[in-house]
Every structure is written in C-alpha cells, then in structure tokens.
Structure 1
Amino acid sequence: MPSLRRRFKKSSISSITKDETPLPPTTSGILALATPLDYVFLVVGSLASFIHGAGFSVLGIVLGGMTTIFLRAQNSEFVLGEGKTDPNGLPGVTRKEFDDQVKMFCYYYLGLGIAMFTTSYVQIVCWETFAERITHKLRQIYLKAILRQQISWFDEQQTGNLTARLTDDLERVREGLGDKLSLFIQMMSAFVAGFGVGFAYSWSMTLVMMVVAPFIAISANWMSRIIATRTQVEQETYAVSGAIAEETFSSIRTVHALCGHKRELRRFEASLEKGRKTGLVKYFYMGIGVLKGVTLSVAAGQKVALVGCSGCGKSTIVNLLLRFYDPNKGKVTIDDIDVCDLNVHSLRDQIGIVSQEPVLFDGTLYENIKMGNETATMDQVVEACRLANAADFIKRLPDGYGTRVGERGVQLSGGQKQRIAIARALIKNPKILLLDEATSALDSEAETSVQEALEKAQAGRTTIIVAHRLSTIRNVDQIYVFKSGEIVEQGTHAELMEKHGVFYDMTQAQVLRAQKEEEPPMSDEEESDVFPVGGLTRLGSVISRKASTRSATSVVTSIQSLQLDLEEIRAKPTPMSKVFYFNRDKWGFFILGLIACIVFGVITPIFALVYAQIISVYSEPVDQMKKDVYFWCGAFLVIGVIHAAGFFTSAVCLGRCGESLTMKLRLEAFRNLLRQDIGFFDDLRHGTGKLCTRFATDAPNVRYVFTRLPSVISSAVTIVGALIVGFVFGWQLALILTILIPLIIGAGYFEMRMQFGKKMRDTELLEEAGKIASQAVENIRTVHALNRQEQFHFMYCEYLREPHKVFFAFMFCGQVVGNISSFIPDVVKARLAASLLFYLIEHPTDIDSLSEDGSRKVSQLGFDLFEEEMIKPGTTVALVGRSGCGKSTVMALLERFYNPGKGTIEGKAADKGMSAHDCARKSDESK
C-alpha cells in the first residue's frame, strides 16, 4: 500500500499524547503563561497597589499635621482668650496661620484622595485584566492538555472531576490572581510604609511597636495554612460530588428506568459530607492482559471479521489500531511500520470507525457528519448520508441537515444515530474502515441496505469488522474467531462452517435470529406515516413537554427562543430575602453573627471618639495628661479585644451559615433535577455541561451573601454611627458630608447593575464553554478517533473569547463610575448564582420521580395504551417496525419518561410500598 504509506507522517507519539514540559504548580508556573503585555499589566498593577497601600501612611502624616495645627490652635489666644497661655507651653498660632494651615491640609487631602482614587482604579483595571487574561489562557491550556492525553489516562480519571476543575478551580485561580493578590500587595505596602514613616518620625516608638510584628506574621501564616487546607478539602469534596452529578445527568434515562433517584441522591449527599475521595475505579486495561499471543495479518483491501463472545478481545484490536493503547509487548504494524512510530493524528485520519454505541455531539446533523472531514462540502455530506441510508429520514425532518440532535444524540433513535455515525465515517474517505458492531442497531431492511452500501464503499479499503451478528460477515475474506484473548479459529465463512468448531456452534446458536420473519419493504408513503413530520421520531407527536418551549411543528428549539428563555429567567432575579429564608435552620447562627457584625461596626465610631479624646489629652497639664493617657490606652485595648471578638464571632457564625447554604443549594437542586421528566433534560438549556457548571460555580458564589455580610452590615452601622457622632458634635460639617453619601451609594448601585448585566452574559457563554468541554471529555474516545481534539479546543476557545472581550469593554468603561466597595461584585455573583440555582430548585415537573403519591401495583399489571389496545397481565407483547417508527417512544411512555399529549396509559392494579412512577418502571425490569 504505497499510497497509504505516503499519507502517513512519521513522528513520535509525544507530539500528540505526551505532555510537554509541565508548568510548575507555583506562581512562577502561572507567570510562564504571561505575555509582555501581561507583564505590563502586572508591573503597573503592582506599582499602583504599592502606591495605594503607601497612601494610607501618607494619609497618617497629613492627619498628624492637621491634628497638630488644631492642638496649636487650642494653645492660641483666639481660643484660650486674651492674656491666657497653654499650660504645656505648646507654640500657639494666629487665626490667619490657622486658616492657611487648615486650607493647605485640605488641599493635601484632596490631592491624596485623587491620587488614591487614580491608583486604586489602575490597580483594579490592571489586576483584573491580568487575572482575566491568565485564566483565559489556563482554561484553554487545561482543556488542550486533557484532550492530548492517552486513553489509558482517562481510564484512571472521572470525567466529572476533570470538568469540575475546569470550572470551580479556575474560578478560584481568577479570584486569587485578581483582587486577592492586589489586596495582598496593597496591605504589605501599607505595612512597610507605615513602619517607614514610624522610623522617620519616632524610631523609639516604632521599635516598641515592632514587638507585635512577629505575632502578626505568625498568626497570618497560621491562618493561611488553615485556609489552604480547608480549600483543598473543599475542592476534593466538590470534585467528587460534581463527578456524581455529571454521571447522573448524562445517564438520566438509565437512572429513571432503574428508579435509582434515591440512591443517586444518597450518593450525592454523602459526597458533600466527605472531605476526600475514597477510591478510583481501575479498568481492565490498566494491567490485566486481554490478548495472548495474537498474530493477525490483514492484506491491503481485504475484509476481515473478528468474532467471539463478549470480552474476548475483539474491540481491543480496534483500540490498538487506533492507538488508544499501546501493547505491552509485541507490535502493531501498517505497511511494515510500527504504529508507535507514526504520528497519531495522521494515523487516525486514515481510519474511519463506527462503534457499537455511536456518539453524537450536541449540534446539527450537518455539523456531526462533517466532524469526519472538516473540509467536506454539503454535496459530500449528502452523498455520505445516501451511502449510509440516512438521507431519506433526514429529508423528512423539518430542518433537514440543520436539525439539532441534542446531547448524545438524544433526539434520534438508535438506528438513526448509527446511520449518522456511518455517514461520518464514510465522509473522510478512509483507507482503513473499522466497523465495531456497526449495524447492530438497524432493522433488517436498513441493515441490508446499509450493508450493501458499505460493501460498495469498502472497495479499495482495508476493512475490519467486529461482528456479533454472524449473518453480516458471510462475504468477508477472512474470519478470526477469538476466545479468552486468543485466536482459536480462522478462515472463510464456508471453511469455518465445515470445521464444525467454535464458529459453527456460534452460528447455530443464532439460527433463530436467521429464521426471523421477513418484513415487506415499506413505501415512502408508508414510512412517512410512521415517521411523524411534525416532530422527531424518538419523541413522536404524542409527547407533550410543558417544561420546554418546543412547538409541535419544530424538532429543536430555535436559538432565538433559547435566548428568550434565558431572558425570562434573568427577568426574575431571586431576592436576597429568599436566600436567607432558605437557610432558616441556621437563623440562630445568623442572628448571633448579625449581632457580632453590629458590634463590629459600632466600634469604628467609638474608636473615632476615643481617638479624638486622646488627642485632646496632649493639651492637658503633664500630670493629668499621663493619667488620662493610661486610661485611654486601656480603652484602646478594650476596643481592640471587642473588635477581634466581633470579627471572629461574625466570621465563624456567618461562615457556617454560608457553608450550610452551599450544601443545601447543591442538594436541593440535585433533588429537584432528579424529579424532572426526561423532556427537561432533552431541552437544550439543560445539558449536562450546563447543569454541572452551575453546581460547580454558582453554589459557592451564593456563599458570598454570608462571607461578605460582615463588611456590608458593619459598614452600614459605621456610617449610621458616624452620622450620629457627627450631628452631635458638629451638625454643620456633618450636614455637608452627608450630601456625599447618596453619591457614593448611587455610584455603587450603578456599578452593581453593570456587574449584574455583564455577569449574566458571561455566565451564559461560560456555560456553553463548559458544555463543550464536558462533551469532549465524556466522549474522549470518539473525539480521539475522529481526530477532533483541535476542533473541540477551538470551539471551547470561541465561547471563551466573547466574555473575554466583554470583560475588557466593561473594565475600561464601567470602572469610571468608581469602586464603592470590594463586596459589590461578590453580591452580584451571589444574586445571579441564587437566581440560576433557584430556577433548578423550583422548576416544576409533571412526572415527579421522587413522589410517594399515586396508584400502586401488585404482582400483575395490565396497560390500556392510547385508548385502544389492551395489554393483558402476564402476556408478552412485541413491538416491531422500521427504525424511527415509534417503538422506543412507546417504551418511553411506559417508563413515564414523558406524558402523552393525548390518550392515556393506565395500570389496572394497585399495591403498597412504591410510587406510581417506581411502579411503572419496576414492572419493566425485563427491558
């Protein structure tokens, strides 16, 4: 096969599957991703943070100067009176000098305020931009690194854990690189500058103050270690719960059919209470031998079949050819070239595969077929569908090739999905064709026509067929019979039948299948009758989905209606009072934390009064001054103790409320999702990736309601207390300053509204990105087999790019309003996250799988179906027909995956101990 040899590129597997030099898991590793522009943001942001922090020390100098001028004024004649002098002998000041000095310090305050506002603005812009850019790159690199791994690596992982890392952990990285790191530099600058000013003005007093510095450092280090440990435990816990959620949602039909709702709910609840993962599932490829001394030769253009019982090693041959795994010993060669020496991407480009369980991605039929060949034209897509016997049923769909198939192709029947997968394999015009039970899901007529089409398409191709139906391999050139990982027989069909060996016994066991009744071919008109034009064949026209906005004449909800649905959700944001009420079982901790916050907030005005009083002490006689200084220093100590106690109590109580709320939101959302009918999960808005993204990011975001509450309450109490003190001691000045409060509140509200709108759009787009990543990781074998790692990475990056652009538009325009306080963005996140989660928690369903209401069953159960046919108890009924004619729809209705739009399905008997839905599903266990 010289032509095949030329089309392969010789390379090492490291170019595709092995990691490049890994980034160290440190700050330096993150900085390795930075571009020169990122370093500009980093340096400028750090400089702004440093200046901003140092500004507080400069503020202390200005405040000290103004305090001194007021003390000197107290020693002046225009304050003490004519002929009186200061008992401490402090120099006085004239009225003109006093006025000039006060004006000068006011200008200093104004200039310092402008400088700190400017530096804080630059600080926020640079650090948030830097964090956004780095996180944007980390998301891309993370998914790319996952897609590049060997299949054996995925056998050791849980896909839910991987996608949870992509959402929750990277969100934490973004927060840490943004305001948290900038705040750290700012506070360190204030600390260093404060001691610098102290040494400049009074080195002896500063040395005394430095005694407490080691205690501050030790306590900070201790606290950081505790936070790091708790964060790691939390990440591991939520990664496990995320894996359970993704596993449940992606297999929701199986969960419903097996009545596994309560079991999955218990698993999910238990995972939230654990601090670590208890174990990993190891697959049989991870060390247990599957093939034993197999030698198999396939000539160019030859058709070869592999047969044998389940687990004998047939599919392992396919996995080795695709280089999903490498053999522990021996080798696999093509044109005498070891596949380990071939570029993996080039190798898989020459191989077309149709697996036993076809995987379709959430997109249109055209997009799914074109994944086999991204350069294919529409004519080539149509021709591939014609060869795969799929063109006819696609034409009858309302949107034709533009029909969306839903997640995992849920909108199509099994036979339809299989034919689309065959078309996807044929469109790449492969040199090697692998058919792993490719026709197992087709009816007899479709199987025959597709088999004929495949035989024509196999001309000039090397074809390897993994077969269970032995009737489909009569015309192959060679048959290999496997047993326990070994080849026990080989030859043509006729030769093996003459041997009366293993193959003969397998064939005789399938005699009944070979003797099945022939079905007369159906005309186009007849097929049109069983294939409803008004809806997808899987669902039929009898299915009503009240949870969706789909119409009876539309297969898939349009993009426009999806946007309207999202806008409808956003139009009704969840009030914060609802969040507090939802966590009402922790109201005891909440009230205690609230009281602590009030105490914490009252301390600041009291501190101001004490500070003013201790300043005035310096104008007293020396003896009296010493006594008062001791007293007021004691007052400072008491204030500090109360301040620390209030902070600690509020943090503990409200932190506990926040953790409880997070767990309850996850649990109740998961519980209500298990109640939903299958139509809910068929809705494009409720894909597995989107739901898992909300679990991973939105639930922790709601916690900000309680973690930021101390700042909100204490700030409000401080403002009220300051106003009271101001009006008591100087109402004129207090009245002037009060005018500024509405401006500050208005600016904060305006910023919150902008943050809310931006966050809503970002959340929608990041959900789509999470959905893409989830699909790619869940179906990694198909992605690798189709060589579509780069395409999924590109699609993921495209969904990230738009919120990335929106971020910069907001950052450089919206921040002009001002940054009223650091907690506003977190409050916005909490409100948005609560809205999305309560949408999941309160979403109604017509088929409640967890309900204990409804009729019961006994040992025998009969059905009235569609107001016509009676299925009598104890009888066996068969449903036959072409692929897509409605057989599976009847099963879905019996399982109560959906409710009929008209007509009824009635059980004739009742019993105790099971819900109506469990009753229906438990009676169908034979399926």
Structure 2
Amino acid sequence: MAGLRISARLRLAYVSALFQQRISFIDKLPVGRPTTTITTSANLIQAGIGDKLSILVQSLTLVIAAYVVAFRYSWSLTLVSSSALVFLLLLLSITVPLFMKLQKKVDFANEKASSIAGEALGTMRTIVACGAEDRLGSRYAGWMAEARRRGLRISPVMGIHLSPLHFALYCNFALTFWFGIRQYSRGNVEDVGEVVIVIFSVLIVVSAVSSIASPIMAITKAIGASEAFFEVLDKPSPSSSGLREPEVSATKDIKLNNVTFSYPSRPSVKVLNNLSLRIPAGKITALVGPSGCGKSTIVGLLERWYQLDDVLEPLKISTAEQNSKNSDEDQSVAVDTIAPNAGFISLDTTNIIDLDLKWWRSQIGLVQQEPFCFNASIYQNVSYGLFGSKWENEDETIKRQLVKEACHEAFADEFIDRLPQGYDTLVGENGIKLSGGQRQRLAIARSIIKRPAILVLDEATSSIDVRGERIVQEALDRVSKNRTTITIAHRLSTIKKADKIILLKAGQAMEEGTHEELLSLEGLYYDLVMNQQLEMEGDPSSPERVEEDVSDPVLSKAISEKRAENDILEVGEESIKPKSLINSVGLFLWEQRRLSLLYLSIIVGAAGCGGRHKGISTRQPETNLFVAGFSVQSFIFAHLIQTFQLTGSELLNRADFWALMFFILAIAVFFFYFLLGFSSVSVSTHIATIYRQQYFEGIIHKPIPFFDKEENSTGALTARLSSDPTQLQELLGPYMAFPLISLFNIIGCIAISFAFGWKLTIVSVFSAYPILILAVFIRSRYELRFEKLNNAVFAESAQFATEAIGAFRTVTSLTLEDSINKRYSDLLQNQVRAAFLKARHGCLVFAAADSLDLGCMALCFWYGGQASGQFGSLTPNMAQASEAANRIISLRTSPGHDDSKAPGSVVELDGGAKIEFRSVSFKYPTRDLPVFKDLSFTVVGKLRSFPFSRGSIRDNVMLGVDPATVTDEEVYQACRDAEIHEFIQSLPDGYATDVGNRGLSLSGGQKQRISIARALLRNPQVLLLDEATSSLDSESEKLVQAAIERTAKGRTIVVVAHRLATVQNADVIFVFGELHTGRWGKRECTKGSGIVEYGDHRSLIRRQGVYFEMCKSQALDR
C-alpha cells in the first residue's frame, strides 16, 4: 500500500509540475515520455518501494539480530564466517552500478520507440491514408532491435551477479564448518551447539545480504525511473502571480512594442522582427498575412505560452542520450541557449509579464486554428470555459443554461439538438465523433461562455460551412461589440467589417487600416482580396447541369463498406477468450522455439540450482536462493553434522572431506547460476522486444473504428504498449526459472527424504503440500483479480493525463490546471482506496499462506515442503504478466485489415480513376445518427488532416513512401508544387529541420503545404483535398491551386472546401445539404446529408440557388 500511495502521489506531482512549466519545455518533451513516465516508470518505482523495500528492511533487521546472536556465542567464529559478507558487498558495488548503466541505455531505446508509438497512435488516420503502417513499423522495429541489442548486454552482467554471489555463499559454508570443527577439536568452543548456532546465524546474515540483491536491483531500476520524474519536479516553475483586478483592467489597449521573437526550437529564425502595433480596446482588430508571418505567434505571446524575457535552454536529456551525441552536437546546443528575443507587450502601460497569469488568461476567450475537444460530453466541453470566471462555482442548472446560450450564439445548437443524447453526447478523444466544423463551433461557444474582456479568434470559422459561417460570424459580431477582439483569418470575407486590419509579412506590420482604406492603397492587402475574388456572373453558354435532391454517396461508399467490415472485425475481437498464464506464456515460448538452446540452458541451470534453503521468507524468490542444489547440499550437510560424533584425527579428516565437497558444490553452483542468469535474461529480452514490436504492429493495423472507442484512446494504448511487454519481461527474466528450480528441488528433496525416512516423508508430502498448494492457489486468484482492477484504473488515469498533457495549450488557456489536477487526483485516490479495501482481505490470505509454511515445517520438520511456498512469491508478477499477455495476444490475433486481397494500385485510366457511389447509407459505429442515406454520385480519395510525426521535414514529406524509390529532386519538386520549397531552404537545416512534436515548430499553413507536398510526392491517380488550403493565405493558396491544376492531367481530383474561390474552376461542383426529416430505425431524425445541386460554377451562379447564396456570403464586394 505504501508503494501504491507514493507512486500515486508521484504521478500527481508530475502532472501538476508539467502544467506549471512553459510551453517551450512541453514542446521539447518526446511525445511518449509523459505517458511512459506515469505508467512504466511509476510502476517501477512502485515495485521498488513496495514489497521490495519491505524485504530490504526485513533483511537488514535479520542481519542485526543474527549478528547479535552469533557474537554472543563466539566472536572469533563469527568474524571468520563473515568473510563472505565483504565479498558480497564488493560484488554488489560493481554489478549494481553496471546494471544501472546498461539499463539506462535500454530505457533510452525504449523511450525512442515509445515516442514513435505515441505520435503514430495520435495520427492514425494520416498514417492509414498515407499507407505508412509498414514504414512506421520498421522504424519502431529498428529501435526494438537496438533495445534488444542493448538488453542482451545485461545478460552476462546478471550471470556475473548471481554466480560469484552463490559461489561465495557455498565457500563460506565450507569455511565455516572447517574452522568451526577445528575450534571445537582444540577446545576453543566447548559445545558443538555453539558451532551450529554461529554457523546458522552467520548463514542467515549471508543469506539476508544475498536477498538484498533483488530489492537493490528493483530499487536501482526505480532510481533510474525516477530520473524522468525529477527532471520535471526539480525544474523551477515560472512565477505566475502578479497584478489583477482591481489594480489593472483588461479593457485597455494592447500594445506590442518593438517585439522580436524566435521559437526555442529555432532560435536563429526570427518569427517577429521588431514588430510594433496597437490593438485598440473595445474594437475588432484583424491580423492577416502569409503563412508563417507571425499571426499565431502573437496569440502565443498574448497567452504567455512564450515570454519575451525567456532564455532559451535545451531540454535536459538522459545520460544515455548524452552519450550518443558527439562534441559537435553539444557545441551546437550551446549556441542555441542565447535567445534573440526583445521588446515587450503591454496592457495599456502595464507589461503583461507583471500580470497574474491565471487572471490574465481568464480574461481571454481563445478559439484556436486547430480546436481541441476533451473526451467528455458536449456540456462538459463547453462548461470548461467557465473556469476562472464568476460563474465557475454556480449551480449546475445555471451552468447548463449558460452552456445552451453560448451554443446558440455559436450556432452549435443546430447540430446538438439533433443528437440522441443532446448536450450529454460524448465527443470522443479530441472530438473524433464530431466534424471539424462542429468542433470549431463548440470551441467558439467555450470561448464566449464566460464573456471575456478579450476575444481571440485564430481562424475560428475556417472549418465551418458557408451557411454556418454566416450565422456564426453574425454571432461573433454580436459578442465582439464593445469587446477587444483579435481575429486571425485567411478568409477575408470574415474580417472585412473589422475596425482595424493589420497585414503582417516577415514578422513586420506592412499595412494597416480598414477594409476600404487598404483596398484604396492597392497594395499587398488589395492583392490578397483579388486572389479571393469570386466570379458572380453566370455564363449563358454553360449547359444546365443542376439537379435538386439528388442522393450522393461519394465519400461514403468506401467508408461504409470498410465500416461494415470493421463491425464484423470488432465482434470477432471481443469473442477472443482470455488464455491462462501457462497457455499464453507457453504460446510465446513455443513461437520463439528458435531460442531452444537458451531454453535448454535455463532447464540445465535450474536443475543444477534446484533447491532452496529454509531461507528468510517465501515472499521473495531471491531470499531463498542462497543455497543451491539443495538435494546435494542436504546430503553433504547431514554428513557434516554426523562428523561431530567423531573425535580426534578422524573428526578432522571427515570435516576436511565434507568441507571440500561443499567447495566443489560451490564451483558447480557458480557455473549453473551463470548459465541460469545469462539464459533467462537473454530469453526475456528477446521475447519482450519481439512481442512489443508485434504489439505495436497489431495496433497500427487495426481498423479506424478501433481507435474511436474510448478504451482505445491514444493515452490508453500508449500506456499499454509501454507497460504490458515490461510486465511480461519481468516474469520471463530470472523469475521464469524459479518455478523450475522449485520443481527440481521438490523432486530431489522427496527422493532423499524417502531414502532417509519414508514414513516421515509420506506424512510431510500428504500433509504439507496439499495445504500449501491450496494457499498458493487462493492467493494467486486474489492477486490476479487485484492486478486486473489495478491495471484498469491506472489505464484510465493514464489515458486522462495523456489527453490533458496533449491539450496543454487548451488547458492553460482555459485555466483548467487545477481542475485537471483535481480530477487526476480523484482517479488516483479512487484506485488507492479500492486497493486498500482489497489489501485488507489480501493480507489475511497472505498471512495464512505464509504461516501455513511454518506450520507445515513445524509438523514435518522437513524442508521439502518449503519449495511449494515459492510459487506464492511469484503471484504478483504472474498476475500482472497474465493480464499483459492476454492483451498482447488479443490485439495481435484479433482480425484487422486484410490488405492481401487489395490490388497493388488503381487501374490506369485516361483522365484519372473513376469511383462511383450508388445508394450508400452510412453511419459511424460510434454514432447513432446517419451521415448518408441512399446517397449516389461519383467521388474519390482523401487528404485532409495534417498531423505530423516528430522528425525532419524530409521524413514527413516522405511518409508512406519507400525512400529507396524516391530521389531528392522528386521531393524538391513536390515541395515546389506545394509552394513550400523556398521556405524550407531558408531554414538553417533545410530539409533536415526537426518539425517538433506534431509539427509544432511550423505554422498551420506551412504544415498544410508540407501535407500537400506529401500527397503530390505519391503521384496518386486519385487526390482528395479536404479543406487542404484552409490554412493558407490567398497568395499561397492561388499558387498551390495553380500547381495542383498543372499536375491534374491523368488524375482525378476532388476538392472539399468551404472557401468557394478554391473550387470555382472545378469541372463539376456538388453542393451538399441536409435532406428532409425521415426515420432511421425507430428514431425520428434527419435523413442525413445529400446533394441539393450540382454543376459547374457558372451554371450554378446562373441558377441562383443554394450555391449562389453561398457565394454571395463570401463575396468581398457585397
């Protein structure tokens, strides 16, 4: 319980400390590190300070007590007998640090693999769209191979650790008897009982010291694991206190004064360059300009995610990583520590750095370019905006009313009211169950619900359809009145009514004024407007190609078939029956039968080590390991005791002989323990890395609906991928040999027992063993249930923490840190309370199992029964490994995508591929309402979301493409077509520039252009651009559009867009709209989406229908 409580507090302290750090620190953390820290690292610490610590304390107590007894009877014999203790301490001082050093290198490789997994699992739709599963699997396999290579270096260390240790123990046994006999024969010891007492007292000391080895090893791992915790806990937290109301007021002008800023990840690239501007209070100020000009950077500075007085420091890296860097790299890091930031931002005359951080953020309502939704209900997501406001502690009824009003203003109630659960509908991880426009409307509602003094809209309507945009824009215009509003937009129709428009370029303000004033200048802003101009005149010569209420399944047919297939797959997955520990581990061992030589070595080593001394406790295997080969040892020991009946030279001769036999046994034990330690660690390393790789590959090849389930969120899967193979490795290490050693020990002991006294043996076997086996069975069942509960709850808390850390910007902008910490604390405390209730019953079971051991010994006074209790010490590891093994098997063997039947490429057709949808009805597995019903028309592939994985720009452009088949020039040409090549070349590292976690080093427009280059590089016959230019400025969009049109020959291109200027040159335009209300199953609901008009731009304009009205809404001259 102490280990559980402390690990829970560490997890909470870690998450709390993370949210107190600057965003620059969070951005540098590898994606998988926080998850690995609060799962695998926390579990290692829990193990190190749990039963292992109690064994350490118990062993040290025994050492003191045994020495007191031994010195009481014979100090000279005690000193001689303690010679092995010095050797053991010297051995541990060498092997433990060496083990720590090697383990850190293994942990570093595992962390790199976890980083790859964390990024991949968070962007599965992009991975699948690019067909990059195999490539990511190869990258992951590369780090697993490195982890295996480094892990195998621990094998000889384990052998060296175990073999000299037990060799010294047996030599000490021989020495003690030899010296004790001589002391007895010389009369220095009056009673033979004194010799026996000293011998056993010192042996207890030596065995206790040897039993310390395992706790020390576990504590060593815990110390290594704690490094990740203290890297965050020991880092100073920036001060967040300062001025607040009534000392200052948020209804004042905001000024940027000579601001120069560079991101910590790219200190040599100036994003803002001596920028000065004023944002008037109570007015609407719009920021426009090319991608990467610094618009979103200003938002980050206003939110104080980054501060102008920061000195950029590189993230502290692990020792293993430092060792892998050369001196040149170290020098380059040192250069980056000098920040070029300058200037300040003020609220009226007060520097915003002097403001109370939480108060300042509570005054800002922010809608980000890529809005984040928590895995909670719609009501909870919107109500999070109330934190830090005067309504934070209001009654639930009042909060719900405020949420409804905010959603109405944001035009979100339009879709919420049609959902079966309404405001209580769960949105899934990152709002996956909602469309982009729906997520954006929820984000707007969340930002305006607290009626902030400052409203920041970073592309707030970029994913909303034209009709919704008009309504939402009207709502935003209403809430912006008499409120300081900063609007960032590429769609210029949304900001033409702004009181002030500032055009940025290269980090400087180039033009500012109203829409009309800037147009009259005919400068940069005028060019942007012209690029977005819509032609509003119809061409009389265009054929009439308009039709109303036509059903349309373009994007649906492939998806609906895939979803139907996935429904079948999911049923198959759920029907997989869990295997027992023996079956699951046996399956792993059988599949890796190429390691049969190592298996044989383990069996031979276990047979040679087959036995346990009475030892200290049955709770820990190593505690009882100090006398190996007990079947032989007991025979020698019996003869040594008999020598005390002799006298004179015969006594000395027989004592010398049997002491020599103990020394020979020590040599044999040296060999067997080295073989056992080396082989068991080698097997566990091979199996753990192989199945960790298979685990990952099994996950990324699952169908997309698998990732839509709450239990399969990114955080939960990353935690399981990190912890489950580790649990398996813990069992299949030296622990795997303990049951074998016990088995051989039982057989040997029973055989010798029958030889010496068959009657007592029968009493022992038939009285002790059934009782011990029953006790072990009951304890094992309890441990299995407890570990299942433990894993489930910690998985839930890890999932929550991972999601919160991933949404760091959203959490801090909403001042949700305290709420996140409280909920995370509640989750952990619930687990601790549940564990405490379980532990009360478990202690009774454990005490009974332990006391039965002693009771049976008292009845039989024979050691053989002791070995059965050994299995009870393994039950915690067995319970954890059983759950982990079943999860690995279920994901690996459950049905996934079967790509073997899919053709290698699309059939070559003149003019591109043609895909037709006929009468498609479709709904998502995680939603009840239909998306399409009886939809029919022709459509194609997909490119939309642009999540990035950590790595260079080149790596991201080539995602899903075999590097061996693509030349540098082809990569450069794809980037030229996407209008991103010149920007990449301007970076200090060019195409080798690290984009950071999920591309955070790049602007939204830059990420979008790289995503377009990624799609063009694949040279697809079918290209679907789903809002692919929504984050681009007008000039870049026009150039990219021209590049796409140039490469359109022989390619089918489908463009999904809300910005209608991007589709006006399309050959045919399908206008989707909501169809009439009908029945879906037993529920009255909308029929879904369908085509209401189609034709080319001019014919649709001449028709003056739905499309015409949409164009009017976006026309900048109306």
Pair in the same fold by TM > 0.5: yes
Q: 1:662 aligns with which of 688, 699, 706?
A: 688
The equivalences for 1:330-729 within 5 A come to 330-374=343-387, 375=392, 377-512=399-534, 544-545=563-564, 547=566, 575-601=584-610, 603-707=629-733, 708-729=735-756
The 8 Å contact of residues 724 and 884 in structure 2, kept in 1 or not, is answered as: yes
CA distance in 1, matches of 2:936, 2:705: 12
CA distance in 2, matches of 1:248, 1:537: 25
CA distance in 1, matches of 2:821, 2:538: 47
- Per-residue Cα deviation, 1:384-410 (whole angstroms, up to 9, x for no partner): 111111111111112212222111111
Describe the SS at the equivalent of 1:332: strand
Q: Relative to structure 1, is the Cα distance of residues 921 and 660 closer, same or farther in structure 2, using a 3 angstrom cutoff?
A: farther
CA distance in 1, matches of 2:290, 2:934: 28
Q: Which has the higher contact order (CA 8 A, sep 6+)?
A: 2
**Letter of the 1:833 counterpart:** A
Match status 1:848 vs 2:898: yes
The equivalences for 1:259-270 within 5 A come to 259-270=131-142
The equivalences for 1:130-141 within 5 A come to 130-141=2-13
CA distance in 2, matches of 1:467, 1:325: 22
Match status 1:250 vs 2:122: yes
**Letter of the 1:771 counterpart:** Q
**Letter of the 2:369 counterpart:** Q
The 8 Å contact of residues 294 and 507 in structure 2, kept in 1 or not, is answered as: yes
The equivalences for 1:38-77 within 5 A come to none
Residue 59 of structure 2: aligned partner = 187
Describe the SS at the equivalent of 1:666: helix
The equivalences for 1:732-771 within 5 A come to 732-738=759-765, 739-771=767-799
CA distance in 2, matches of 1:138, 1:321: 32
Match status 1:785 vs 2:798: no
Which consecutive unaligned segments of at least 5 residues does structure 1 have?
1-128, 518-525, 552-560, 870-882, 898-912
Residue 8 of structure 1: aligned partner = none
Greater mean deviation of Cα atoms: 372-381 or 738-747:
372-381
Q: 2:34 aligns with which of 155, 162, 167?
A: 162
CA distance in 2, matches of 1:805, 1:294: 55
Residue 21 of structure 1: aligned partner = none
**Letter of the 1:865 counterpart:** E
The 8 Å contact of residues 676 and 848 in structure 1, kept in 2 or not, is answered as: no
Shift of 1:381: 1.1
- Per-residue Cα deviation, 1:208-237 (whole angstroms, up to 9, x for no partner): 233333221110111211221122222222
TM-score (norm 2): 0.62
**Letter of the 1:339 counterpart:** I
Q: Relative to structure 1, is the Cα distance of residues 759 and 652 closer, same or farther in structure 2, using a 3 angstrom cutoff?
A: same
CA distance in 1, matches of 2:95, 2:495: 69
**Letter of the 2:742 counterpart:** S
Provide the identity percentage: 28
The 8 Å contact of residues 461 and 469 in structure 2, kept in 1 or not, is answered as: yes
CA distance in 2, matches of 1:887, 1:240: 47
The equivalences for 1:170-319 within 5 A come to 170-274=42-146, 284=265, 286=267, 288-319=269-300
Q: 1:830 aligns with which of 877, 881, 897?
A: 881
Greater mean deviation of Cα atoms: 884-893 or 704-713:
884-893
Residue 857 of structure 1: aligned partner = 906
CA distance in 2, matches of 1:773, 1:516: 55
- Per-residue Cα deviation, 1:763-792 (whole angstroms, up to 9, x for no partner): 111111111111112121111111112222
CA distance in 2, matches of 1:711, 1:180: 17
Describe the SS at the equivalent of 2:520: helix
CA distance in 1, matches of 2:692, 2:702: 16
CA distance in 2, matches of 1:721, 1:893: 72
CA distance in 1, matches of 2:110, 2:655: 53
Q: Relative to structure 1, is the Cα distance of residues 314 and 265 closer, same or farther in structure 2, using a 3 angstrom cutoff?
A: same
Residue 730 of structure 1: aligned partner = 757
Describe the SS at the equivalent of 2:49: helix
The 8 Å contact of residues 552 and 935 in structure 2, kept in 1 or not, is answered as: no
- Per-residue Cα deviation, 1:28-57 (whole angstroms, up to 9, x for no partner): xxxxxxxxxxxxxxxxxxxxxxxxxxxxxx
Q: Relative to structure 1, is the Cα distance of residues 636 and 627 closer, same or farther in structure 2, using a 3 angstrom cutoff?
A: same
CA distance in 2, matches of 1:833, 1:417: 35
Describe the SS at the equivalent of 2:757: helix
What RMSD in Å do the two structures reach over aligned CA positions?
3.5
Shift of 1:288: 3.3
**Letter of the 2:592 counterpart:** N
CA distance in 1, matches of 2:936, 2:66: 74
The 8 Å contact of residues 857 and 919 in structure 1, kept in 2 or not, is answered as: no
Shift of 1:201: 2.1
Describe the SS at the equivalent of 1:357: coil
Shift of 1:272: 2.2
- Per-residue Cα deviation, 1:367-426 (whole angstroms, up to 9, x for no partner): 211111153611111111111111111111122122221111111111111111111111
Describe the SS at the equivalent of 1:297: strand
Describe the SS at the equivalent of 1:411: coil
- Per-residue Cα deviation, 1:823-843 (whole angstroms, up to 9, x for no partner): 221111111110111112112
Shift of 1:866: 2.8
Q: Relative to structure 1, is the Cα distance of residues 408 and 719 closer, same or farther in structure 2, using a 3 angstrom cutoff?
A: same
Residue 1028 of structure 2: aligned partner = none
Describe the SS at the equivalent of 1:433: strand
CA distance in 1, matches of 2:936, 2:32: 30
CA distance in 2, matches of 1:542, 1:449: 35
Describe the SS at the equivalent of 1:800: helix
CA distance in 2, matches of 1:780, 1:261: 28
Describe the SS at the equivalent of 1:372: helix
Shift of 1:580: 1.9
Greater mean deviation of Cα atoms: 170-179 or 187-196:
187-196
CA distance in 2, matches of 1:665, 1:167: 19
Q: Relative to structure 1, is the Cα distance of residues 923 and 679 closer, same or farther in structure 2, using a 3 angstrom cutoff?
A: farther
**Letter of the 1:747 counterpart:** A
Describe the SS at the equivalent of 1:295: strand
The 8 Å contact of residues 941 and 1024 in structure 2, kept in 1 or not, is answered as: no
Shift of 1:572: 7.3
Shift of 1:886: 9.6
When the two structures are aligned, how many residues end up with a matched partner?
Answer: 741
Shift of 1:301: 0.9
The 8 Å contact of residues 918 and 936 in structure 2, kept in 1 or not, is answered as: no
**Letter of the 1:709 counterpart:** M
Shift of 1:653: 0.5
CA distance in 1, matches of 2:495, 2:877: 63
Q: Relative to structure 1, is the Cα distance of residues 853 and 302 closer, same or farther in structure 2, using a 3 angstrom cutoff?
A: closer
